[in-house]
Amino acid sequence: MAEAFIVGAVRTPVGRRGGGLSAVHPADLGAHALRGLVVRTGVDPARIDDVLWGCVGQVGPQASNVGRITALSAGLPESVPGTTLDRQCGSSQQALHFAAQAVLSGTQDLVVAGGVEVMSQVPIASPTTIGLAAGMAHPRGGQGWAERYGDQEISQFRGAELIAEKWGLTREAMEAYAVESHRRAIEAIERGLFDDEILPYGDVTRDEGPRPGTNPAKLATLEPLREGGRLTAALSSQISDGAAALLVASGRAVREQRLTPLARVHTMTVVGSDPVYMLTGPIPATERLLERAGVALSEIGAFEVNEAFASVPMAWLRETGADPARTNPQGGAIALGHPLGGTGARLLTTLLHRMRRENLRYGMQTMCEGGGMANATLLELV
């Protein structure tokens, strides 16, 4: 039976908005991760069949197929193609799925999956806001959408608030969650747990997001994002800059290229969910993943659940009954940041390195996505 192996995973540090990576061109930042992946795996770059690259804000420096531009900027042979995909925040996790599916189908043997986002240069929703400013229609401005959902607000901020309300998550509980995310991230940095997965960029050697001294008293002083709401900026993922890349290989490529399998892609799924709540997809995605995998939740040693907002993983924990200690054990996007199109690959990279370090047989990742969707991935240690 065909198998898809991950034979390398590397990422840049995640920079703060306006921080040490803010002036780096997105193609150069992605190329840095891609070159590091080639060096670390020892793969012959001419044998790479494709580069699948996630990016959400495909405008300005991230336009015109930044995946292809990144591959060329990294020095890969011109014969190696590249494409860019957008499944919103899950773009580079979806890139991993497409890469694994290509390998499992037997049509390709070596595929790069990764992504980039430099939000300091391309703010969130830039394609929409720039289009509106130029007189273009809104993406949800069509008749079919209006007939189904009317003109109600559709946004991640409203979705996160609706989740907090539905699951009875108080501001105080979410602030305690955010404090713990920062504590775990800072502890992981101090212990060097990210060192092996990070490829420093110039003077930036560590993730810039975690804030020492984060405590409930400080968070309680912040204004809510919406009048009368529970969520504040401290309870949402940080605006960030970063890139990550993984190499997926067939068994034949592993043998011929003498690569070292780190994990195999055991099971993958993607689901749609309510686009108004928008961010609840990880719950049904996890259920479907476990059904397809035939693996019990208790068998999984680590979970990465993207912290778009504190309410998202908290509702997921409530519904699945997963162990909070195994969930985002090195902190999440509230502390580490969320460079949109690069986050899926960043989470996979962190998960894979933790599985290797602690000899965990299974690791799972899931993340919510704009439009009401979610990917879920189960990795098995080799």
**Catalytic residue set:** 89, 338, 368
Question: 248 has which bridge partners?
Answer: 6, 111
Question: Please, which residues have CB within 8 angstroms of residue 55's CB and are 6 or more apart in sequence?
Answer: 26, 62, 66, 67, 84, 85, 86, 91, 115, 116, 117, 340, 341, 342
The secondary element (H helix, E strand) that includes residue 264 is strand 263-272
Query: For the packed helices 282-293 and 311-320, what is the interaxial angle rounded to 10 degrees?
Result: 40
With 0-12 CB in 10 A as exposed, 13-18 as middle and 19+ as buried, what is 226?
A: middle
**φ, ψ for residue 138 (rounded to 5)?**
-70, 145
Per DSSP, the three-state class of 58 is: coil
Q: Are strands 302-305 and 15-16 parallel, antiparallel or unpaired?
A: unpaired
- Asked if 115 and 128 touch (Cβ cutoff 8 Å), the reply is no
The secondary element (H helix, E strand) that includes residue 336 is helix 333-336
Nearest to 280 by CA among 325, 324, 318: 318
Q: On the CB side of 76, how many CA atoms lie within 13 Å of its CA?
A: 34
Rounded to the nearest 10°, the torsion over CA 267, 268, 274, 280 is: 60
The shares of helix, strand and coil residues in the chain, as percent rounded to the nearest 5, are 40, 20, 40
- Asked if 270 and 281 touch (Cβ cutoff 8 Å), the reply is no
Question: Please, which residues have CB within 8 angstroms of residue 295's CB and are 6 or more apart in sequence?
Answer: 266, 267, 362, 378
Structure tokens at 381: 């240690």
The secondary element (H helix, E strand) that includes residue 37 is helix 26-41
Rounded to the nearest 10°, the torsion over CA 188, 279, 225, 307 is: 0
